[in-house]
Structure formats: structure tokens, C-alpha cells
Chain A
Amino acid sequence: MAELRVNPTRMEMKRIQTRYQTARKGHKLLKDKRDELMKQFLDVVREDKALRERVEEALGKVYQSFTVASAVSSPKMLEEALICPKKEGELSVEYKNMMSVTVPVFHLRVHAEGGSDSYNYGMAFTSGELDSSLRELNSILEDLIRLAELEKTAQLLAEEIERTRRRVNALEYILMPQYLATIKTIKMKLDENERGNTTRLMKVKDMMLQAQLSQKRDSDDEEENA
């Protein structure tokens, strides 16, 4: 791992050590966040999957009876029957905070005249198949909305998890090893300097001793000669 290019000083080392500590704390927090997000995400996805299976099956039935309905009555009549709905489906949206991800919560509100499962056409010109197809469709309306909500939540959570995972990995495999390597390099450099200093002092001491010794020897020689 390439270390940072910094001056190998004690101060720089101290600074990087603090940053390393912060990175480690952040890494731990993000990892916890990722785990919790994952847990919630999997709950959502499991429910989403089950619901989608149910809805798709029900929709299949709806289409079947709808096809029959459109076969027995003319397209124009069918359209006429459906074109002005009695009902108006509206959603009110609340936002929920799920591990700091804003996810929508849908509430369905149906404005209907004369009961929510009344048909918006007369019985005279339409077939019974249309009735049953619409009844079926009506019964999965709540599920459809819930499906939309879950699927959206899953998408948003997936994005957040992906981002968190990247951050965790960046901290774990890039930033933290980089700091550690830098700290180690600085420490080695400082130690090396220390050793250099010691040797230098020893050398100087040696030289001084040598000088004193030779001085002493000279003065002894002089005394002997005298």
C-alpha cells in the first residue's frame, strides 16, 4: 500500500494517528449501518417477492376474464363502459425515515360514488365477465399499491446499501492501511534518525576521548624528556 507523502516528523505522525482513529470509528459505525440496512432490506425484499408473486397471479386471472369480456362485447362498447370511471384513486404520500433513507409510504384513497365496488356502467350492455374481471382487479388494488411502495423502498435501500458498502470498503482497504503504512514509515524514519544520532554521539565521544588521550600522552612524553 502506497503511503502518503508527508514529512517524517513527530507532529505529522500525531496528526495521522488522530486521523486513523477517526477513520476506525467511522468504519465501525458505517459497518453497523450497513448491517442494519441489510437486515431491513432483506425483510422488504422478501415481502416484495411474495406480494409480486401473488399480484402477478391475480393479474393473470384479471386479464383472462377481461379478454373474454372484450371478446363478447364490441371494443367500442367496452370503452364506453369504462371510459368515465365512478371512482378516482388517489394516493397520499407520507415519508418514512428508514436508516436515514427517505422512503415513501402510500395511502390509497378512493373517491367513489355509491360504494367502492359499484360498477360504473349499466348492466344492460356489458357481460358478466367484465364484472368479474373488474371485481378481481378491485380486490388487488391495495396489493398493487403496497407492491409499488415495497418495490420503491427496496430500490432506495439497495442504493443506500451499495453506497455504504463502498464507503466501508474504501475505509477498510484503502484509507486505513494507507494511514497505518504512513505511520509505520514515519516511525521507522524517526527510529533511524535516533539510531543515527546515538552513533554520532558515540563517535564524537570516541573522538574526544582520543583527543584527550593523545594530549595526555604528549604531556607525559614532555615530562619524561624534561
Chain B
Amino acid sequence: MYKIGIIGDRDTVLGFMALGFVVEDVKSTEEAAKKLHAMAKSGAYATIFITENYAMQIEEEMNRYKDMPLPAVISLPGQGGSTGYGMNNIRSAVERAVGADILFKE
């Protein structure tokens, strides 16, 4: 059995506590990166959500887990609403696979 983790600002992630997620509230980017690695390394987490404001800044750290089956490191919009970062991730996956952006053409 695996746990579900979420990393983000205190105000944002507090609500997820009620869902039974393991909540890590962080204040700085470095802290978020450190927490992410600790969670991923423990092997107890199948999914780690990160709010977009931090996800944007620790993209490199997140990419390290991109090609492993577990954990799934997924960004979620934070308190400020969606910044389109999550969609951007899907777009970049499409670009990586297809070589061109064929889903989001506008």
C-alpha cells in the first residue's frame, strides 16, 4: 500500500489533510525540493502532488522522477488558481513524443 503526498503552501494543502493525504507544508522552494526527494526516496508514496507555484521552480527535480514508474509527481494549481503550468506539462509530453504540438494548436 502506498501513501499519497502533497507539497505546497500551508493554506493550500491544509484541506487535503481531510482526504487522508500526507501533507507537507513548505515555505521555500528549497524546502519543497528537499521534501520531494525525501518523499520519493522513502518509496512509500505512489503519488506526490505539488502546487504549481513550487512545481514551476523545482522542475528539474521533478523531471528526475519523470521516467520512473513510481512515484507519479504531479502538479496541481495552487491557491492562486491555474497558471496553465499543468497543461504546459501535457503539451511538452506531446511535443516530446510527436515532435510537434498537435493537441493544443490555437
> Which residue numbers of A lie inside 8 Å of B, CB to CB?
38, 41-42, 45-46, 48-49, 52-53, 55-56, 59-60, 62-63, 66-67, 70, 78-79, 82-83, 85, 87-93, 95, 102-104, 106, 109-112, 119-120, 133-134, 137-138, 141, 144-145, 147-149, 151-152, 154-159, 161-162, 165
Contacts and interface: CB of A to CB of B under 8 A. Distances in A.
B21 A56 contact: no
A95 B69 contact: yes
B19 interface: yes
User: What 9 A-B pairs are tightest by C-beta distance, nearest first?
Assistant: A89-B20, A152-B72, A87-B20, A161-B97, A158-B97, A158-B93, A148-B47, A91-B46, A56-B82
Point out which of B47, B74, B78, B89 has the most chain A C-beta atoms below 10 A from its C-beta: B47
Contacts of A87: 18-20
Interface string B72-88: 10101111011000110
Contact of A63 (B2, B12, B49, B97): B12
Contacts of B12: 63
B56 interface: no
A40 B61 CA distance: 28
A48 B103 CA distance: 12
A1 to B, nearest CB: 23
Contacts of B100: none
Contacts of A155: 66-67, 93
Given A82-B14, A145-B47, A155-B93, A138 B2 contact: no
* Size band of the interface chain B makes with A: 35 or more
30 contacts: A45-B90, A46-B103, A52-B90, A56-B86, A59-B76, A62-B15, A66-B11, A67-B11, A87-B18, A88-B20, A90-B3, A91-B2, A91-B4, A91-B47, A92-B1, A104-B70, A120-B18, A137-B15, A137-B16, A137-B18, A137-B19, A138-B19, A144-B49, A145-B4, A145-B47, A151-B72, A152-B69, A156-B67, A157-B97, A165-B97
Interface in B1-28: 1-4, 11-12, 14-21
B67 A56 contact: no
Contacts of B78: 63
Contacts of B87: 49, 52-53
B15 A82 contact: yes
Contacts of B19: 85, 87, 89, 137-138, 141
Contacts of A70: 11
Contacts of B15: 62, 66, 82, 133-134, 137
A81 to B, nearest CB: 8
Contacts of B18: 82, 85, 87, 119-120, 134, 137-138
B80 to A, nearest CB: 9
Given A49-B87, A56-B82, A60-B77, 8 more contacts: A67-B79, A89-B21, A91-B47, A104-B70, A109-B1, A112-B20, A156-B67, A162-B97
